[in-house]
């Protein structure tokens, strides 16, 4: 809803700009914010890079700890967050846990940001 629409010839000083009261998409914002938060840590981004560099975008945890210089429980914690947010899937193969990138989740989030950059009224 537009409550004020100052034109270039409007000399009133108590009007700053159009007031647009369109309610922002609260639930959607909350959902995307949660996903963005899951990616907002350098260790998790590096984990995704490492996994993505493996054939098929799939890697086992045992090869993710040493290159990052953090402990195994820390990697496990981060992988859980990434899995809960839908960026990877977990699969047990024998004694090893494999995590696989879900490209669609990253792509969807990227497109959300690009759409937001194009939203101009």
Partner DNA sequence: TCCTCGCATAGACGATCATCTATCAGACTC
Partner DNA sequence: GAGTCTGATAGATGATCGTCTATGCGAGGA
Interface positions with a copy of itself (CB under 8 A): 13, 16-26, 29-30, 32-34, 36-37, 39-42, 44-46, 48-50, 52-60, 62-63, 66-68, 93-94, 96, 98, 101, 103-107, 109-114, 116-121
Strand order of the β-sheet with 58-60 is 58-60, 96-101, 88-93
| 54 binding partner (options DNA, a copy of itself, none; Cβ < 5 to 8 Å by kind) | a copy of itself
Distance (Å, whole) CA 40 – CA 72 = 20
Number of residues interacting with DNA: please give it, by CB under 7 A: 28
Sign of CA dihedral 68, 65, 46, 76: negative
């Amino acid at each position: 809803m537009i409550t004020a629409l100052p034109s270039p010839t409007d000399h009133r000083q108590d009007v700053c700009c159009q007031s647009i009261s369109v309610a922002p998409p609260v639930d959607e914002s909350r959902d995307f914010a949660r996903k963005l938060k899951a990616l907002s840590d350098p260790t998790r981004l590096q984990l995704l890079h490492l996994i993505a560099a493996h054939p098929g975008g799939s890697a086992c945890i045992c090869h993710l700890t040493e290159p990052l210089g953090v402990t195994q429980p820390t990697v496990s914690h981060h992988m859980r967050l990434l899995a809960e947010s839908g960026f990877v899937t977990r699969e047990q193969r024998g004694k090893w846990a494999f995590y696989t990138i879900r490209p669609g989740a990253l792509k969807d989030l990227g497109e959300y940001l690009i759409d937001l950059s194009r939203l101009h009224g």
